[in-house]
A and B are shown apart, each in its own frame.
Chain A
Amino acid sequence: MSVASKEFIHKHAGHCESGVMSTMLSHHGLAMSEPMAFGLSSALSFAYLPFVKLAGMPLIAYRSIPKAIIKGLQKNIGVKMKIETFSNQQKGQERLDVLLEEGKIVGAQTSVFWLPYLPEEMRFHFNGHNLLVYGKEASTYKISDPVFEHVVEASEQEFLKARFAKGVMAPKGAIYYPTFVPENIDYASVVPKAVKAVAKRMLKTPVPIAGLKGMRYLAKNIRNLESKDRRYARLFLGHIVRMQEEIGTGGAGFRYIYASFLQESGKILGNETLLEASEMMTAVGDSWREFALLIAKSIRSKKSETVDFDAIAKKLESIADEEALVYQKMLTAF
């Protein structure tokens, strides 16, 4: 694959992993929007894992596990990716430099905490961040971080620290690049598969912590906050909002990105049902934003006022009902 002389174009994205894949595939001649990368890898999800703690708070995820987009695209559209990890930091740096010298653009998994260009308030110990390295000048890496509007930079030392951060999901210097990119996508066969997979996952996952059941379980836990320590209860609610809005989701916990994917697919395939599902998903996204607003108001309220946990839980349950209709609609689209 000869792409050495091709100019790199940075793209602003809602989410890191889908943003990286969209930009990377487009760079290699397969034009793909971020929502399309997100949708074709069936990345939309919901999970509430009270026993997995993240900074003292239970894990709440609005998408499938990290690397699922990279893997999903390999499986669904036949892209082949090479992922390399390293036990030795020096070797990890040398390998990246060699790839860059070959003119490749390289995806990398990093910690959020050690990225120098990130605002202080955004730096938390999360090791599943993705970005693209598109060049190196002297000892400075040229970085295209999809969640930034413009390109950014990091020094050798800073970047090495971010790539080899320790702890849960330690990136181990992971870098990746495509070894095969198909020339086009057979949307008529891929989209139905990807759409049905999401609908079934959300409607039918048998465990109570995932899909719509996970949302209802979270609602139940919100009600139980009534009897918990007040400070913890407020932090827990704030944590839900952060997972939904702050951690690079394109708004409303990926619901808007997914609505955009449904719209794009509906247009490509001339499928009216998908277009309707897209509008329904947009409404679902709006409900999630209302849910976040409801929480923000209750956190903001004076210490003496009591938080109406029941109202917040009810809102979440109504969103689960609303989402169920979208997934049922999606199943009837083909």
Chain B
Amino acid sequence: MKAQEVPQDDNSTYHGEKRAVYATTKDGDYDVVASSGWDVEAEATQQAVAELQRLADEAYAACETGKCSPLEYHMYAKRLDLLSLSQATGLFQWRIKRHFNVKNFNKLSDKLLDRYADVMGITISELKKLPQKES
């Protein structure tokens, strides 16, 4: 890729930051070119972010009606899934799944709740409820 062909698409996902891309200058020599983004990459990023948002929204709606515990919502909201939450907490997936059940979740000890809260970087009281919906 030539230096003048390096995309400068001002990706909103960069928040004004720039990324180093390697490209060739006029003499054919390689150099680092700061790129403000590429639409192709931005679309892929936004697709992934939107998918996580969709999962979190679905869980939020289910939790509101008592169909699942807030744990499931917070998991997706913190960009985790069953596998990565299991890996981070060291708890078996089937055990975490049980905690998605409101009844089981309400019986959890503070010690276990803290294990979840810690990897999500929130407090136990935040974990126990759904956040106010942003309007």
Query: Chain A residues in contact with chain B, CB under 8 A?
Result: 12-14, 34-35, 53, 55-56, 113-114, 119-125, 146-149, 161, 165-168, 234-235, 238-239, 241-242, 245-246, 248, 250-252, 256-257, 259-260, 263-264, 278-279, 282, 285-286, 289, 292-293, 295-296, 299-300
Decide if A113 touches B79 in the complex (CB within 8 Å).
yes
Decide if A13 touches B48 in the complex (CB within 8 Å).
no
Known: A241-B44, A251-B21, A296-B44. A56 touches B1 (CB 8 A): no
| Interface window among B28-36, B59-67, B95-103, B106-114 | B28-36
Chain B minimum-CB-distance residue to A13: B20
In the complex, B13 has a CB within 8 A of chain A: yes
Within 8 Å by CB of B45, from A146, A161, A246, lies A246
Chain B minimum-CB-distance residue to A169: B87
Within 8 Å by CB of B29, from A34, A166, A263, lies A263
In the complex, B23 has a CB within 8 A of chain A: yes
In the complex, B15 has a CB within 8 A of chain A: yes
Residues of B within 8 A of A120 (CB): 15
Residues of B within 8 A of A292 (CB): 40-41, 44
In the complex, B51 has a CB within 8 A of chain A: yes
Decide if A121 touches B46 in the complex (CB within 8 Å).
yes
Q: A34-B32, A242-B48 are in contact. List 6 more A-B contacts (CB 8 A).
A: A14-B32, A56-B83, A119-B14, A235-B47, A245-B38, A245-B40
Give the shortest distance, in Å, between A217 (CB) and chain B (any CB): 21
Chain A minimum-CB-distance residue to B86: A167
Give the shortest distance, in Å, between B9 (CB) and chain A (any CB): 12
Most chain B C-beta atoms within 10 Å of own C-beta, residue among A124, A251, A278: A251
Decide if B41 touches A246 in the complex (CB within 8 Å).
yes
In the complex, B17 has a CB within 8 A of chain A: yes
Give the shortest distance, in Å, between B14 (CB) and chain A (any CB): 6
Decide if B88 touches A167 in the complex (CB within 8 Å).
yes
Q: In the bound complex, how far is the Cα of B90 from the Cα of A6, in angstroms?
A: 43
Residues of B within 8 A of A146 (CB): 20
Q: In the bound complex, how far is the Cα of B124 from the Cα of A298, in angstroms?
A: 43
Residues of B within 8 A of A14 (CB): 19-22, 32
In the complex, B4 has a CB within 8 A of chain A: no
Residues of B within 8 A of A55 (CB): 48, 79, 81, 84
Q: In the bound complex, how far is the Cα of B41 from the Cα of A38, in angstroms?
A: 23
